[in-house]
A and B are shown apart, each in its own frame.
Chain A
């Protein structure tokens, strides 16, 4: 059941009405209901996945219970926490990475004439496994580090791990932020629900109009990259940059907006990343929930930036490699992570990782030339990374980038879609105007006349229906 499907369009209002009209007097019933509908939502992909998520949830919940039981013995607590982490990572590794490492292992041995074909298994990758596993891990670690008290409320804990809006593609919530929200009664707020609805609308627009239209041309260019000239290949990279942004940030907006309808706040996942002036800023604005997860649970425990520069470089390299591997079991993702670490490390050495922390051109309409050059340069570097990310394998990534770096880069692209480009440019302009807001449709709330506000919503819906691309599944579901 994907967000841009008829099932979800029917599912959401039903869940909303039952949640607020029938169950609003009982917090426990509301939480039980959230668990049930979340399992229905997730089970709509494959009911077998439910066993896995239930197992992960139970393991993490029990780790909290036992950590509390052995309150006096830090060693046992450490062992319990480590056990929970190992179990969760084992499941993730088995389902997501087993074949990747087995294939690589078999290929390596094949070079020495040893056939190891038997090592690969036909394992189905459960949707969103990386997202909920990281969320479950966050709880075990936070309980061990005493950032949160272990919960005895099993229903709330199940709701925390499986909360359907963010279950399959995030934002990845930390237990310290999301879990306590299931303990407290939730009050319906008209303003918040309206804002959530606007955010859902903007998310759907990005997914259906921007991402799905770009996806068509991205697929066409990447699948036949040897037939195109440099300018078309560059345009293909740009199309993919907007496809993945529209797709993933669109999903996040829908998830955050849907959560607002249920009185739950999720953390922001994207903060206009393509307006970043350097790579450091890009990584503070792109997939924020994953990056803060890595920062809090890997980078800081490794010493963070309070160690020698060489160790900071090492820590950064580890974070980017792990981040690449998190995205999928493919060397292209690992290379993509390595590529970004190489862009990031010079900023560490120069001590400029946090040079741009404010909103770009905060007090003016247009950026300065320096800011503009910074944004364009960063975007081009990011697009090169996306080519590596999107390619099926390293050979294709190399061939694609080699094709871009040719004299035909200055020719007119062979695959031009004026409609798609017009929508992309319009969305960039809208986001630029709204860069101080959480999402562009928050500006609409400032419009004085209701009819004007509704006209904007209806125009967006009609554009979605009339100009939306062929429905594609969300890219990040595979992660």
Chain B
């Protein structure tokens, strides 16, 4: 290697090392700061609801005083696990975790989409970066798209919003839209085939089961009502898969309301309940918990 080339490579290498060091330092400080924000859930909340948009829209925690809903649209089990790992040790009053497990989020296609969709990846990366262990870094980096690079490295949002961090973890979403007919049209002739082959989803679902068992927290899988579930979703296949998981995890309970019939006016679309649906479904779920003393 000639001296000039060597000098140039060393110069550029030096610049890259300095830049990476600065960014690693900034990321480290930010992660430390965000991690040190206590996630303090009120003492009267003993039920933590977590998962994707199904529970996010279907369970209104303001009318179920013992519960807190921290579900978030399109959250794969990986992020639910990270949230639980972060929240549960700080909030020992939580005795039950309600996890959204439905025929959509355990399917192969959706599991992949939740992890790799560009816009989700970018926002989730920033929201959960401080919770990542090596495995989560590997999963996220393998899904990175080229144009994400600058978006991912942009840390402004963590800097500016870290004070209100808990709001970014999720919450009840009051849906008022009416996309039912449109979503029926889209779904018609397109029956969901549940293939439980998504390694990441499966891996993190089992980690959630292990985590809850290790700290003696009850874990309940909840499937929220789907519009004409029997027609539009492969419920039998979904149930069979869930039963298979349950058989390996004795303490997991399954509450499947996929086939619960509610009036059309309760649905925002075929997958999600709207605010009317949530106001009917939440008391039903609450009643189930009260009767069976979870």
Contacts and interface: CB of A to CB of B under 8 A. Distances in A.
Contacts of B12: 197
Interface in B151-176: 151, 153-156
B65 interface: no
A468 B150 CA distance: 8
B150 A208 contact: yes
Contacts of A5: 146-147, 149
Interface string A1-30: 000111111000000010011001000000
Residue picked from B5, B8, B149, B151, most chain A C-beta under 10 Å: B8
Interface in B1-49: 1-2, 4-5, 7-9, 11-12, 15, 18-19, 22
A186 B153 CA distance: 37
Interface residues of B, number: 25
A461 B19 contact: yes
Interface string A437-479: 0000000000000000010011001101110100100000000
B144 A465 contact: no
Interface string A198-216: 0000000000100000000
Majority DSSP secondary structure for residues of B touching A:
helix
Interface in A13-60: 17, 20-21, 24
A297 interface: no
A67 B229 CA distance: 74
A216 to B, nearest CB: 14
Given A454-B15, A466-B154, A9 B149 contact: yes
A190 B7 contact: yes
Band of interface residues on A: 20 to 34
Contacts of B4: 188-190, 193
Nearest to B3: A190
A194 interface: yes
B18 A454 contact: yes
Contacts of A188: 2, 4-5, 8
Interface string B63-91: 00000000000000000000000000000
Nearest to A461: B19
Contacts of B15: 454, 457-458
Given A190-B7, A190-B8, A466-B156, A458 B18 contact: yes
A20 B12 CA distance: 15
Contacts of A8: 146
A457 B11 CA distance: 12
A193 B18 contact: no
A464 B8 contact: no
A461 B22 CA distance: 11
A465 B150 contact: yes
B8 A193 contact: yes
Interface string A297-312: 0000000000000000
A7 B149 CA distance: 10
Contacts of A462: 22
Given A194-B8, A194-B11, A6 B146 contact: yes
Contacts of A464: 150
Contacts of A454: 15, 18
Nearest to A212: B150
Contact of A471 (B5, B8, B150): B150
A454 B16 CA distance: 11
Contacts of B148: 6
Interface string A302-335: 0000000000000000000000000000000000
A24 B8 CA distance: 15
Contacts of A461: 19
Contacts of A21: 1, 5
Interface string B279-294: 0000000000000000
Contacts of A465: 150, 153-154
B92 to A, nearest CB: 39
Contacts of B7: 190
Nearest to B22: A458
A200 B69 CA distance: 49
B204 to A, nearest CB: 26
Nearest to A189: B4
Contacts of A190: 4-5, 7-8
Nearest to A20: B5
Contacts of B146: 5-8
B16 to A, nearest CB: 9
Given A188-B2, A465-B154, A6 B149 contact: yes
B116 to A, nearest CB: 15
A465 B9 CA distance: 23
A197 B19 CA distance: 15
Contacts of B8: 188, 190, 193-194
Contacts of B11: 194
B144 A6 contact: yes
Contacts of B155: 466
A4 B15 CA distance: 18
Interface string A145-180: 000000000000000000000000000000000000
Please provide the 6 A-B residue pairs with the shortest distance between their CB atoms, ordered closest to farther: A6-B146, A5-B146, A190-B4, A6-B149, A471-B147, A465-B153
Interface of B: 1-2, 4-5, 7-9, 11-12, 15, 18-19, 22, 144-151, 153-156
13 contacts: A5-B149, A6-B144, A6-B145, A21-B1, A188-B2, A188-B8, A189-B4, A190-B5, A208-B150, A454-B18, A457-B15, A458-B22, A471-B147
Given A190-B8, A197-B12, A458-B18, 10 more contacts: A5-B149, A6-B149, A17-B9, A20-B5, A190-B7, A193-B4, A194-B11, A461-B19, A465-B150, A465-B153
